[in-house]
Structure 1
Amino acid sequence: MPELRGLVELTRPVNAVAAGVLTLIGAYVAGGVVDAPLAAAAAGIATVLAVGAGNAINDYFDAVIDRINAPGRPIPRGAVTERGALWFSVVLFALAVAFALTLPLLALGIAAFNLLALVAYTELFKGLPGVGNAVVAYLGGSTFLFGGAAVDGQLTTVVTLAALAALSTFTREVVKDVEDLAGDREEGLNTLPIAIGERRALLVGVACLAVAVLASPVPYVTGTLGLAYLALVVPADLVMLAAAVEGFSDPTAGQTHLKYGMFLAAAAFVVGRAVPL
């Protein structure tokens, strides 16, 4: 069924599931998965549904610009109608809310705020220089915080993880804006590379990533996580720094490799929690 396949594509299933995994990582790093497995699962499912809904509504609002930047996506190629994408996102948002309502108050508050940010992102924030990037960066980092809050876990380390993830996500979003420059100009968006130039925008992104890299040893220095964490987070830092530099010459490859480094950094927190050395 082409339409069903198109609807699944709207959610960016790999990204949505990855976000759910990051939520579970947040729950694990907070130390609450064993005590509250159902809450962790509900948070993970809510995240997958909410991210899928956000991606679908983003494609709905971006239908015109995607004809330039991404003509192979479901709406531009005719696999899904704009109206179909809108209603599909509404259903996914409703299901995400249903799962979030089973969670503690702090997690519910994070979920409610994130849902509003997801809906408002494309229409209100995406075209504002740096602001849209900051919103996406916050949403990326907050998946970990949401997982930790869902299981009523210890949030100190999770807050550090969320902050580092947000800073690196900001860098990746800036590189992606450079990649999408032609379509964004056609649509009249005022993204950071358009407002201040590609090179300056990339330098801002590198500066944010540098802050994250410099702060990444903090859990080790404070004794929260051990050498196993440090052994993985240092290579992750190097991968992300190399990817950010690569973004100056090849934004497509740069943003992809940044994502790999970000997942490796998340794995460092998991290993650090599992191996107390």
Structure 2
Amino acid sequence: MKKYNIFSKEIIFAYIKSMRPYLFFLSGMAGLLGVVFCGQTASAGKLISILSVVFLGWGVNQVVNDFLGLKEDRINAPNRPLVTGALPIKAAVLYSLGLFVLGGFITYILNAYALIFYFLVFLLNIAYEYSKKIPLLGNIVFGFLLAPCVYYGAMCVNGKGLEVLLDKKLFLLAIAVILINITVAFFTYYKDFKGDKITGKRTIIVKLTPLRARYFNYLVSFIPFSVVLFLLLSPIWRQRLNLYFLGFMLISFIIMQYTAFMFFKHPEGRNTYYSLKWNFSGAVLFETSFIALINPALAGILYFSNFILVNYLFDLHKDHLS
């Protein structure tokens, strides 16, 4: 049996690579929305703790996904650390378990009730892998995966219990997060088409085939923005609308439409990987836009810094097979 040091820099790097840091912002911004809209101001220490959990927690979920989806990854992403052995399974389990326990401990200190949503995200992540056997169910489960982050962020700041589920502002934000991540999953499945088909996954892309599914691209990328129409029609939300929010949302809309165009043009092949950069960027910016309803200045800083960071971190992963 090959011996290895699970604390070696090579294995640590392989684990971080498997976490796919460019995806941290999807959960990070969802959690921050809860913080911003909870009605109370978070201390610096509490804010750092919350963001650390929601950022790193999503990275742990990516490693868990790789472990559960090894069969299809051997086809779709044969160069991923877990597939090649650069990240031993034992090390992946130990690191993931350690971070999971640490995140749970931090959550318990912040608000024990928030553990409900903390555990829910991880349970939904496991369910997600198996939900891909049913067309559209995988998209729906993936969308619901990140919605608890909104409530998690709010609960960790205001100290409330499950009554946060009755907060209309948080509910609308959770719906927005669900819809944008259903869209994210739709485009992600293009890249995974070959392996999913061979291993029996029945995603919507497998069911329709990429060449047929691409005709739904523009419709799917528009659906999340229907939430904005609700904002325009609701008297309560209309009072918060401002040009910053509308401008940021317009840019996000253009990016998601460009994503739809790229996957229409390249529904198969290596470009389905590189086009994901726009998919993830558009989704993160969509979530970030809502912060402008409360704090336009903060939203502006986060909007452009998130765009730069997501693109920079994605470009570090140039291998389309990893």
Taking the aligned partners of 1:148 and 1:135, their CA distance within structure 2 comes to: 22
1:74 CA displacement: 0.7
Residue 186 of structure 1 corresponds to 198
The answer to whether structure 1 residue 29 and structure 2 residue 37 are counterparts is: yes
1:147 is the counterpart of 2:168: no
1:227 maps to which residue? 243
Distance in 2 between residues matched to 1:267 and 1:88, nearest whole Å? 30
Q: Percent of aligned pairs with the same residue? A: 22
- Matched with 2:255 is 239
- Greater Cα offset, 246-255 or 130-139: 246-255
Partner of 1:12: 20
How far off its partner does 1:144 sit?
2.7
Match of 1:156 in 2: 168
Q: 1:204 to 1:161 in 2, by over 3 A?
A: farther
In 2, Cα distance between the equivalents of 1:170 and 1:18? 12
- Counterpart CA distance in 2 for 1:47 and 1:80 is 23
Aligned with 1:104 (options 89, 99, 111): 111
| TM-score for the superposition, normalised by structure 2 | 0.75
Say what the alpha-carbon RMSD is for the aligned residues. Answer: 2.7
Q: 1:157 to 1:240 in 2, by over 3 A?
A: farther
Q: How far 1:99 moved relative to its partner?
A: 1.6
Is the contact between residue 23 and residue 147 of structure 1 (CA under 8 Å) also seen in structure 2? yes
The equivalent position to 2:291 in structure 1, one of 257, 260, 270, is 270
Match for 1:261 among 282, 286, 291? Answer: 282
After superposition, the Cα gap between the structure-2 partners of 1:17 and 1:194, relative to the gap in structure 1 and judged at 3 Å, is closer
| Worse overlay, 15-24 or 240-249 | 15-24
- Contact 2:196 2:203 (8 Å CA) reproduced: yes
Show the counterpart of 2:305: none
* Residue matched to 1:114: 121
Answer yes or no: is the 8 Å Cα contact 1:193–1:201 preserved in 2: yes
- Opposite residue 239 of structure 1, the aligned amino acid is I
User: 2:264 is paired with a residue of what secondary structure?
Assistant: coil
State the 1:146 CA deviation: 2.2
Q: Distance in 1 between matches of 2:184 and 2:211?
A: 14
- 1:79-126 deviation line (CA, Å, top 9, x unaligned): 11223222322222212211221233553322221121123332x223
CA distance in 2, matches of 1:9, 1:239: 26
- Report the AA paired with residue 256 of structure 2: M
3-state DSSP of counterpart to 2:265 = coil
TM-score where L is the length of structure 1: 0.85
Give yes or no for contact 2:143–2:177 (8 Å, CA) kept in 1: yes
The AA in structure 2 aligned to 1:83 is K
Tell me, yes or no, if the aligned pair for 2:32 and 2:150 is still in contact at 8 Å. yes
Aligned-partner SS, 1:128: coil
Give me the whole-angstrom Cα distance separating, in 2, the residues matched to 1:42 and 1:203. Answer: 43
Q: Judge conservation of contact 1:69–1:182 (CA < 8 Å) in 2.
A: yes
State the one-letter code of the partner of 1:100. Answer: T
Aligned residue identity for 2:199: E
Structure 1: which 5+ runs fail to align? Answer: none
Q: Residue in 1 aligned with 2:319?
A: none
Distance in 2 of aligned mates of 1:188 and 1:211: 28
Alpha-carbon distance in 2 for matches of 1:256, 1:52: 17
The code of the aligned residue for 2:32 comes to: L
The partner residue of 1:86 within 81, 85, 93 is 93
Give the one of 58, 74, 92 matched to 1:67: 74
- CA distance, structure 2, for counterparts of residue 172 and residue 100 of structure 1: 27
CA distance in 1, matches of 2:98, 2:225: 39
Letter in 2 for 1:8: I
Q: What code does the residue aligned with 1:228 have?
A: Y
Unaligned runs of 5+ in 2: 1-8, 267-271, 298-322
Partners of 1:202 and 1:104 in 2: how far apart? 44
Note the C-alpha offset of 1:203.
Answer: 5.0
- Matches of 1:156 and 1:38 in 2, distance apart? 27
Equivalent residues, number? 274
Moved more, 244-253 or 169-178: 244-253
